[in-house]
Every structure is written in structure tokens, then in C-alpha cells.
A and B are shown apart, each in its own frame.
Chain A
């Protein structure tokens, strides 16, 4: 095998976010004229890697060599100028501006110092054609385009910069099948033109079709790089596994009887194109996990149950009776008693400048109020009780909640909802960015609540948690429940295979061959 001089090289690059190592001494070599796929599960360091390459974050250490010269990128603009363009998962388009404005935002054509709109339009049309999106009108405002068209505009915008390295981060996740075919044709043409392409995707068949090289990341480290086609899917899953079990989980009880009436049951729930035909049931005492890669509809499912989304189809039954929840206020009411521990505690869970006590009693105020006036003594007693149950470490309930540590803040969010004595508890990745000790307390608490008769629905990006805490795990992929794992079936291997939507048989034979 001949090894030409690499176009881009990264060596010993590390990055931490507040004590959490996102990337550790990672390396990557990119060749011109090849498609290089990056693989890894949630939190493997893929996004940090491309953020460093595209100048969004600065690495703590390590060096990057581009075209034989050592480089640093203080800003996305610097990376762009050097010839690295990135198509981000979170779109970088400006919703109020037109497609043409967006495509040429970095370097619009000028005449007498002013933007030449005619030429800009012609250039935009050209770029759209190059991206295979001739049907998009260059004067249309981006906010009026459907998601899949926006993604095509994003690609056209990146091409306009004439990059030498193009990074596609989950670029096809929002696209229709017809668009994917077009994008593939574009990628193959760009490869033939000598561009280097970095392709991040969790769709194995896409990688099989496109990639020349693959690199696997795990826990922020680079595990292996191999030529495409030299490893089986099973080998790849094997390489992605490998987090050591560092959490202690409470023992699981025997599975609840099938005959028990579910506290909450969902039948064929759909919402826009983000949730497709989802059915699930949670009985008293059960902890039901939601798995899969980030952004496959888990968050939307929880919001839908909590009454935040409009235009749902399908049925939700509580205690066997059909309900229609249209607001969080109704969801927490005494008929349903549902609680949602949100994803972002700082914006959706807490009022940071207000005191611990005030935050705790917000959701349950009506329980202490008599004729609209809050009974301070009852409130204080209940708050004190909660603080003890959760062992929140705080010098007092009068301190602003913002002064507590992340773990204690999260406990306050959970305690706040326990004040209403919920029977259905939804959790959206509750342990993200929390220390191990607090995590364990949260696991114990979940189990205790379930034992007390509540049904828990628990989304986590951490596979260990799903394995350790859940009686049953639904793996979501593209808004659909692709797999339901129960009891001993909940293994990291099965979870990853489900998240990548590759068949279990493939993986289990791979395992058999390896053993």
C-alpha cells in the first residue's frame, strides 16, 4: 500500500470540559481524495474532534499539521480560510436571510464595495447545482425551507468556500432517501476532485457505501484506523464497546407481572416526522429506559407525554383511561401526577437566582396553598423533609440554588418533582455532567420510587445506566422504536447494535466467531 503525504494530521490532541476529558491524546490522519469515516458511540469524542478541526474549540494540547505546515485555528473563520469547511449537525444557517445570502455569507461578490446581488444569485445557483439542490430557489428565506432542503443549502454553502477538507457531521440524518442519493453522488464527485472528506455517521450502510478509511473512537481516545471493508460490523461494535463499569446500581426486582395494569401506556404515538408510531407501557415499579444515539426522538417523546407538543396522533392511556395532556400544568395535576426531569436543569429545571426552598416548592405550591395564600410552615416542613430524603448538601434552604454544585442542583430538580408525589416520572438524561457519587444516589432514588409504585421512563445517553437501572429498554432510531430489550438482553452490545440499527444476528454471529 502506498502512503502519500497526508493532507491533514492531528497528534496527541486533548480537550477537557470542566474536569471531563472529552478527548485524550487523539490522533487522526486524513488523505486527499478519500472519504474517512469516524465512528464511535455517544460521548466518544467525535464532536469534540471535529470542533477542534474546524476552529470552534481550542485544544488543551497537541498539534495539527495541514498541508505540511503546523496550524492553529483560533476561530471557525480561520479554519475556513485554511480550507476546512464543516457541515454541522446543528445547522449554521441564518433563518431570516435568503438562501443566496446564506451560501455567500462569508465572502459575497462585490462591486464598488457593495454586494453584487446579481452575481451573488448566479454564484448561489451554481453552488446549489453543485450540491444537487437545483430545486431550491436562491431567493427563498431559509426559515421557510423544510429541514432536508436546509441541509442541502448547508452543503452548498460549505462547497462555496472551496474547501480542501469537508467535514460532514451526521449530514444525512435529516435527509430524505432521494436527497441522500444526491448527496452521495456529490461526495463521490468531490472525492474524485481530490478533496478529503470526513464523514461522521451512525448509519453503517452509508459508511459501507462511501468510506475508504474508518477511524473508531472510544471514551475520547482513538482506538483504531482501518481500511473500509476489512472489518465486519461485529468487529466495529466490539471496538466501540469498552467503557469500564464504574457505577454501582441497586439490584433489580423480579419483572412485574404482565397482567398488572400499566400506569401509562402509549399506542402508536406520532408527531411530525420526529416520532413514528411509538408504543410503550410502564407498569408500577418498572423502570423503562430509552436508548439509542442522541437526537433520535427520545427528547420529543418525553415532551410529547408531558403535554408540550401540539399535533400528536395516537393514544396515551393513564391507568387504562385515555387522556389528552395539553400542558405540563395538566400533566402534573392530581389526576395524572406526572413529572418531567428536564434535560437542561439550568434553563428548564431551576430558577437559578431563587432559593433552594423556593425552587423545591414551585411544582407543588398548590399543595401548601389555602385560598391562594401559601402556608409557609407547611411549605418549610415539606422542604426540610425533601432535603433529608435526598441528602442535598446545602448550607440552608435560603441559598440561591445557583450556588450549589451540579450534582446537588440536579437533586433539587428531582426533589422538586417528588414534592407532587408523582406516579409517572420522566427523566431526560438526568446524570449528564454529574459526579459519580451523585449518580449513584440518583440510581438508588429511581429504584426506590419505582418500588413505591411509580412508573419511571428514563432516557440516558450512558449505556451503562440503561443496563444497570432499567427493567426494559426501548432503542429509538430515527423516531421509531427499533428494538425492545428486556432483562438479560440489555447488554452494551445489543444497545449499540440497536442504536446503529444493525441486526442482532449479525452482531451475535460476530460475537460467536470472536469467542
Chain B
């Protein structure tokens, strides 16, 4: 019976993220102009949900990428750049016939995974701090994106049918992008979480020394975490390309997504100290963060207020997490 208490404890961060999301999205939905104009019709609701999903999925994927690294007590500041690089690459190679498109998609995913793997190798064998490593590699990846797409451009012969299918609605009004996200979570996150490697990633984040003493495969786990992070960033890049049908090496966009991914991870209850939290929480954190931003549009507030409002909500949720520090008995532990 008390199992539930512990299971809740383990997933508390995720539950809170879901709650924040539900509240924020409900406010967003009820005040959305489309709903207030047309009332609660099926079309209106599914349309609003679909748009929200298509916007949210991109950030959700980058946040999942961030989660994998944060769980190991690292941080990946290159997720936004891998995302931009893959967007530029996708706008060039995800074109033409279905076969060509499929090959293009695989190519983009492979490049993303390679970018992540490079981060992993440098962190593991170079013994550099993740934050420094990924700032540097992020700049390199962005350089590569600029080289691919010196000027923003619409993809030639872009496979619009495929993109439309990925971003459209399935029978019953279910957003295709949401289904895609669920499939990605089931194929990547769930096996990771439940494998020895995933367990090792959490162990490293919790205490790397204890993990080493317990004979946990530290290198393999870190390598996997960084590589999958690159792969998920590439998927986000693909989704962005589906929405925009173009590629742009935008530094601002890359930086924004990197920072937002950290915000989403924190909202999602993933500890930046590593060792606890879930990518599912981060997904809800990402959707919640998006909803908080979009909320202001409902009330015709100037978009300039968006960062301020998002920042305040983020700050409040972090404060809740810091409340436990009040109980610390040895002041040196505050600096741990």
C-alpha cells in the first residue's frame, strides 16, 4: 500500500509539471480567441490543440535531449545548435520522392547523433566539463549550419506532403505531431529509463564516485546519454523544418531553444544536480513553458511582456524546489 507513496515520491516532479501544464493550458484554451468566438466546437478545440502541439513538440524534443544529459549531472548547451544545424540540413536533404525523403530523414538523424556522440567523447575522454565542451562544440555546429545555409532559404523540392502529414491531424482530431512525440518517447525514453545504461546514467548523476565503486558502466552510460541527446535534437530540427519548410541558421533561435530547454527541464522536475527526474516531466515542462508564453496572446498583452512573465513563473517553481534547503543542519552542505 505504501508503494504508492514511494512511487509518487519518485515521480513528484513529473506530477507537478503535469499540474502546471494542465492549469496553464486550461487558461490558455478557455481564453483563446477561436474558442471565445466560436464556442467549444470540436473543430475549434482540435485546431487550437493542434497548433499548440506543433509548437510545443519542437521544444519538448529539445527538452528531452537536455534531460538525458542533465540526469548525468551534466548540461548540454549545444542542443539548440544541433537543432539549428539539423534544421538547415533537413531543408537541403529532406526532399523529393518518398524514398529520397526517407534517406534524408535518416541522414539528418545520423548527423544529430554524431554531434551528440562527439560531445560525449570529449566529455568522457577529454575530461572536460560538459558546460565548456558543449559551448565550444555548439559554436562549431552552428558554424556548420551557417556553412550549409549562409542565407535563410526555402527548401527546394521540399516534400510538402510528408511535412503536412507529420504536422496535421489524424482521424479524431489527434495531432500527428503529438502521436509522433509519444512514439519517440516510447522508443527512446522508456527503454533508456529501464535499461542498465539508463540506470547507470542516473547513478552517475546521483554520485559518480559511488557509481564507480559500484562497478557501474560510467563511460558507456555517458556516451549513450550524449548521443541520444544529439539524436533528439535532430528530431526537433526535423519538426521545425516540417513547420517552416525552410532552413535558417539563426543564432538567436539556437540560443533561445538551448535556454528554454533548461527552463523546461527545471519546470519538469528534473534536478540540475543530476540523478533524478524524467523526460516525461521535461515534455510537460516544455508544453507548460510554451503555454505560459502563449497565454499572454489570449489577453492581447504585448509580446514584449512574454519573457518577463515566463521568467517569473520559472522563478516561482524553482523556489518551491529550494524550500528543502531550510532544513540543512551543516551550513557547508549549502555549498555542496
Contact = CB atoms under 8 A, between A and B. Distances in A.
Interface of A: 56, 75-77, 80-81, 88, 91-98, 101, 105-106, 108, 110, 113-115, 117, 137, 139-141, 157, 271-272, 303, 307-311, 327
The 4 closest A-B pairs by CB, nearest first: A77-B215, A96-B275, A139-B6, A96-B206
B332 A308 contact: yes
Contact of A105 (B10, B214, B275): B214
Contacts of B216: 105-106
Contacts of A77: 215
A98 B10 contact: yes
A71 B330 CA distance: 43
Contacts of B275: 94-97
Contacts of A139: 3, 6-7, 10
Contact of A76 (B191, B196, B213): B213
Interface in B1-38: 2-3, 6-7, 9-10
Contacts of A94: 202-203, 206-207, 210-211, 214, 275
A141 B196 CA distance: 18
B329 A92 contact: no
Contacts of B215: 75-77, 80-81, 106
A92 B331 contact: no
25 contacts: A75-B215, A76-B212, A80-B215, A91-B210, A94-B203, A94-B214, A94-B275, A96-B276, A101-B199, A101-B202, A105-B199, A105-B216, A108-B199, A113-B191, A114-B194, A115-B194, A115-B196, A139-B10, A141-B9, A141-B10, A271-B329, A303-B330, A307-B331, A308-B331, A310-B331
Interface string B185-211: 000000100111001001101110111
B328 interface: yes
A81 B215 CA distance: 9
Contact of B329 (A93, A157, A311): A311
A310 B328 contact: yes
A113 B192 CA distance: 11
Interface of B: 2-3, 6-7, 9-10, 191, 194-196, 199, 202-203, 205-207, 209-216, 271, 274-276, 328-332
B329 A97 contact: no
A105 B2 contact: no
A137 B203 CA distance: 19
A309 B2 CA distance: 34
A157 B215 CA distance: 12
Most chain A CB within 10 A, of B195, B212, B331, is at B331
B203 A310 contact: no
Given A114-B195, A272-B329, A92 B6 contact: no
A150 B80 CA distance: 41
Contact of A115 (B6, B195, B274, B329): B195
B206 A97 contact: yes
Given A115-B194, A137-B2, A303-B332, A97 B214 contact: no
Contacts of B329: 271-272, 309-311
B213 A88 contact: yes
A268 to B, nearest CB: 18
Given A94-B203, A137-B2, A271-B329, 8 more contacts: A96-B271, A98-B10, A101-B199, A106-B214, A106-B216, A110-B196, A309-B330, A311-B329
Contacts of B194: 114-115, 117
B221 to A, nearest CB: 12
A95 B191 contact: no
B15 to A, nearest CB: 16
Contacts of A117: 194
A92 B211 CA distance: 7
A97 B206 CA distance: 8
A308 B199 contact: no
Contacts of B203: 94, 97, 105
A114 B191 contact: yes
Contacts of B330: 303, 308-310
Nearest to B202: A97
Nearest to A102: B214
A92 B203 CA distance: 11
Contacts of B209: 92
A75 B276 CA distance: 26
Nearest to A93: B210
Contacts of B2: 137
A391 B25 CA distance: 69
A92 B206 CA distance: 11
A96 B3 contact: no
A145 to B, nearest CB: 12
A141 B207 CA distance: 14
A134 to B, nearest CB: 14
Nearest to A157: B214
Given A94-B210, A98-B10, A141-B10, A108 B332 contact: no
Contacts of A137: 2, 6
A88 B210 CA distance: 10
A77 B217 CA distance: 9
Contact of A108 (B6, B196, B210): B196
B6 A141 contact: yes
Of the candidates B2, B209, B330, the one having the most CB atoms from chain A within 10 angstroms of its own CB is B330
A93 B329 CA distance: 21
A96 B72 CA distance: 12
A272 B333 CA distance: 15
Contacts of A113: 191, 195
B199 A115 contact: yes
Contacts of A81: 215
A310 B331 CA distance: 7
A76 B213 CA distance: 6
A308 B330 CA distance: 6
Nearest to B4: A139
B206 A95 contact: yes
Contacts of B207: 93-95
Nearest to B194: A114
